[in-house]
């Protein structure tokens, strides 16, 4: 790949931003990468590991002369950050983001984008349960989707450059409108996370099952729930508060399906259970065939290491 931006500023230096640093460097997509994080500790770590070419102590200083500014903060903080950096953005620059909610982010950020600066929201569908500047790695986005959600009146050339950046970092790129994006993510990410948090909470509250038993006998299902439930609490709090309508709609549908399964179990309706599980198994196969997961045993994990 050839260089797409001379200077990229990353505001927030967690998993996604640090992975973007590594991925942009791997492909030579940016001449210079600079960053800012609200926490002095995070800034110190980023400097220690040479994450960026320069780490600034203020967001305003970081965005000066940047061709691309990417907001990598929790979605609830994006409006305030945009208001702070807006006056410092250079004409012709592009502002993007990596938030997993799009409608409220657009509504919060767009009013602070000056005339002559382009706003191209985006959402990479990639992540782990880890956070912080040490957690990033260049391969995070490889063969994962990044959804570009152009704001109303977005400059198509600016949209094209942001799309090319994500392709250069290894992503497959699609475009969606913000409301459809938020509904799709409520199905594929937000509600599953909420269910995982709930199931781990149920296990914690069930006094007849001890903590040691939950840990010792965690088979794959519960173990993977705990991996999801270990995700950053600030980020997920903001996701649910900012994608309220879509998440509540999908939770309502989930509750209806759950009641139907409860009824089938209570009534001994094996045919209903078998048909339902056959259908859901086919969805799993489709995800594997689309290259979004592996069909290797145990999700490709190696054998457990002996203690």
Q: Is residue 161 part of a domain?
A: yes
| Percent of the residues in the chain that have a pLDDT greater than 70, as a whole number | 92
Among 176, 209, 228, residue at a domain's last position? 176
DSSP conformational letter for 226: H
Cα–Cα distances (Å) from 223 to 177, 196, 285, in that order, read 35, 10, 21
Residue 254 has pLDDT above 80, yes or no: yes
- Give the pLDDT band of residue 198 (cuts 50, 70, 90): confident
What's the predicted TM-score (pTM) here? 0.82
In terms of domains, do 161 and 93 share one?
yes
Q: In terms of Cα–Cα distance, which of 134, 161, 3 is closest to 70?
A: 161
Q: Is residue 263 part of a domain?
A: yes
SS3 of 295, please?
A: coil
In terms of domains, do 17 and 128 share one?
yes
Q: Is residue 300 part of a domain?
A: no
* CATH assignment at residue 239: 1.10.3660.10
The helix (H) or strand (E) run that includes residue 164 is helix 156-168
Q: Is the dihedral of CA 42, 22, 71, 84 positive or negative?
A: positive
- How large is the average pLDDT for residues 45-71? 97
Structure tokens at 36: 């800012």
- How large is the average pLDDT for residues 287-299? 68
In terms of domains, do 75 and 53 share one?
yes
The tally of domains found in the chain comes to 2
Among 155, 176, 197, residue at a domain's last position? 176
In terms of domains, do 12 and 141 share one?
yes
In terms of domains, do 20 and 167 share one?
yes
Q: Is residue 88 part of a domain?
A: yes
* CATH assignment at residue 62: 3.40.50.720
Q: Of 10-14, 80-84, 155-159, 216-220, which gets the smallest average pLDDT? A: 216-220
Q: Is residue 305 part of a domain?
A: no
Among 176, 205, 229, residue at a domain's last position? 176
- What is the residue range of 282's domain? 180-295
- Give the pLDDT band of residue 307 (cuts 50, 70, 90): very low
């Amino acid at each position: 790949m050839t260089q797409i931006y001379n200077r990229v500023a990353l505001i927030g230096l967690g998993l996604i931003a640090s992975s973007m640093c590594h991925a942009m460097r791997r492909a030579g997509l940016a001449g210079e990468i600079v960053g800012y994080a609200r926490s002095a500790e995070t800034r110190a770590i980023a400097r220690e590991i040479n994450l960026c070419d320069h780490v600034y102590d203020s967001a305003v200083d970081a965005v000066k002369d940047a061709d691309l500014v990417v907001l990598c903060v929790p979605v609830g903080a994006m409006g305030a950050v945009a208001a702070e950096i807006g006056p410092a953005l250079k004409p012709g620059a592009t502002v993007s983001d990596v938030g997993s909610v799009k409608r409220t982010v657009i509504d919060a950020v767009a009013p602070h984008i000056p005339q002559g600066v382009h706003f191209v929201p985006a959402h990479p569908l990639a992540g782990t349960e880890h956070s912080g500047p040490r957690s990033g790695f260049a391969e995070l986005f490889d063969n994962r989707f990044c959804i570009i959600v152009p704001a109303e009146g977005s400059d198509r050339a600016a949209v094209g450059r942001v799309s090319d950046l994500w392709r250069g970092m290894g992503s497959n790129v699609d475009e969606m409108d913000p409301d459809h994006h938020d509904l799709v993510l409520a199905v594929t990410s937000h509600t599953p996370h909420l269910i995982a948090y709930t199931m781990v909470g149920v296990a914690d509250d069930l006094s007849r099952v001890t903590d040691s038993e939950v840990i010792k006998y965690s088979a794959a299902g519960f173990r993977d729930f705990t991996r999801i439930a270990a995700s950053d609490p600030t980020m997920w709090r903001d996701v649910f508060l900012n994608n309220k309508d879509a998440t509540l709609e999908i939770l309502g549908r989930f509750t209806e399906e759950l009641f139907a399964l409860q009824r089938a179990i209570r009534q001994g309706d094996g045919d209903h259970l078998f048909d339902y599980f056959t259908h859901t198994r086919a969805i799993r196969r489709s995800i594997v065939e689309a290259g979004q997961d592996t069909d290797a045993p145990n999700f490709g994990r190696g054998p457990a290491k002996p203690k």
